[in-house]
């Protein structure tokens, strides 16, 4: 999975996988002003829509960090780290070819 470290892959029955992962970067850029930040706010789980992976349903638990924007002139106070090669912003359903190789 591009930009991520897979922590665990669990087989939940003969037709289902669960993949636990998190991002690899030490920081992220504010999507509004573009300023880099390493000031982590907190973490939360994203659960993108299930995807097929070599004939199995693949559920993903992706730990995403939130960062503070350190630019006092920016209206955005906090933002989530972006994983553009894996998940499109603000979408729960996606079709990333990168995930279809994990089984």
Q: How far apart are CA 52 and CA 64, in angstroms?
A: 22
99 contacts 53 by C-beta, under 8 angstroms: yes
59 contacts 16 by C-beta, under 8 angstroms: yes
For the question of whether the overall pTM of this predicted structure is more than 0.85, the answer is no
Is the confidence at residue 81, as pLDDT, over 60? yes
Backbone angles phi, psi at 101, to 5 degrees: -90, -10
Instruction: Kindly report, residue by residue over 29-43, the tens digit of the pLDDT.
Output: 999 999 999 988 888
Specify the higher pLDDT residue, 53 or 8: 8
Is the confidence at residue 73, as pLDDT, over 80? yes
């Amino acid at each position: 999975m591009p930009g991520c470290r897979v922590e665990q892959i669990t087989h939940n029955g003969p037709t289902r996988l669960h993949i636990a992962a998190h991002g690899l970067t030490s920081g992220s850029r504010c999507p509004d002003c573009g300023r880099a930040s390493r000031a982590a706010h907190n973490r939360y789980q994203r659960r993108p829509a299930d995807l097929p992976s070599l004939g199995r349903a693949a559920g993903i638990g992706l730990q995403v960090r939130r960062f503070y924007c350190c630019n006092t002139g920016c209206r955005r106070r906090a933002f989530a780290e972006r994983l553009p090669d894996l998940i499109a912003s603000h979408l729960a359903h996606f079709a990333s070819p990168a995930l279809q190789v994990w089984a």
